[in-house]
Amino acid sequence: MEEVLNNKTKGTGMQSIIAKACSVLAKHYPFLLQVLLLHMVRAIAICGALMFVIVDQPQSPLILLIVLFLLGQISAVEFLAICLKLSRSQSAQLFEMQSLAVYLRWFLVTSFFVVCFLLGIIFALIPGLVIAILFSTYGFAILDGHSAVNSVKTSIRIARPVFFQILVLGAIITIPELIFSSPLLVGISIALEFVLILSLAEIYINGTHNFIAAEVRNDG
């Protein structure tokens, strides 16, 4: 199965993946900007309303930070769901609310990833980088209904055959982001982030298709 997967993966080059991601971005860029704007408005509105309720409490700054963090994570899950749907040529809404179980699995796996990543960075840069690549598609697996453990396993299985391609993809996106980090060029940075997420969505979609094809061949 691993050999079949590797052969399939080689047929889908990183160039074609980035090209597909750019094509999806060009088609849906105004919509994705609307998503970002409305999610920011939602967070500001909720935090603003909460501020009037807890303004007299001494812990109000901490509460606001926690709420803002949670809203950011919720928006991250919804944005991944939107990108995954667009990459699959499906229609997406401005707000793609998920079940409580999906959010809980996201928080659990993300917390585990952050701890592993930080430990990898503390001891050496390379282990942290390896962890980031292997965990690069777990969010999409969670959205497809995988459990917390299976989402990590699926992400690792998908990332292993294309490890260096994902590394190159990260470099292609990160280096221009550093170059165009000026506030005047924020639009370019946002577009590059969109390309990265959509490219990872394509890698996830191709990886799941390859695993299914490999399993069918083995059963045959």
pLDDT at 8 over 50: no
Q: Which residue has the tokens 């309720």?
A: 53
* CA dist list (Å): 34 to 13, 46, 59: 31, 18, 33
Output the pLDDT for position 210. 74
Output the pLDDT for position 6. 47
Output the pLDDT for position 92. 94
pLDDT digits (tens, 9 = 90+) for 37-80: 999 999 999 988 888 888 777 777 888 889 999 999 999 999 99
CA-to-CA distance for 188 and 85, rounded, in angstroms?
A: 23
> Global pTM?
0.84
Mean predicted confidence (pLDDT) in 67-94: 94
pLDDT at 123 over 80: no
Give per-residue burial for 171-188: e unless 16+ CB within 10 Å, then b.
ebbeebbeeeeeeeeeee
Three-state DSSP class for residue 137: coil
pLDDT at 85 over 70: yes
Give percent of the chain above pLDDT 70.
84
How sure is the predictor about 29, in pLDDT bands with cuts at 50, 70 and 90?
very high
How sure is the predictor about 183, in pLDDT bands with cuts at 50, 70 and 90?
low
Output the pLDDT for position 5. 43
Mean predicted confidence (pLDDT) in 145-172: 92
pLDDT at 108 over 80: yes
pLDDT at 211 over 80: no
Q: Which two tokens stand for residue 196?
A: 């990265």
CB 159 within 8 A of CB 206: no
How sure is the predictor about 213, in pLDDT bands with cuts at 50, 70 and 90?
low
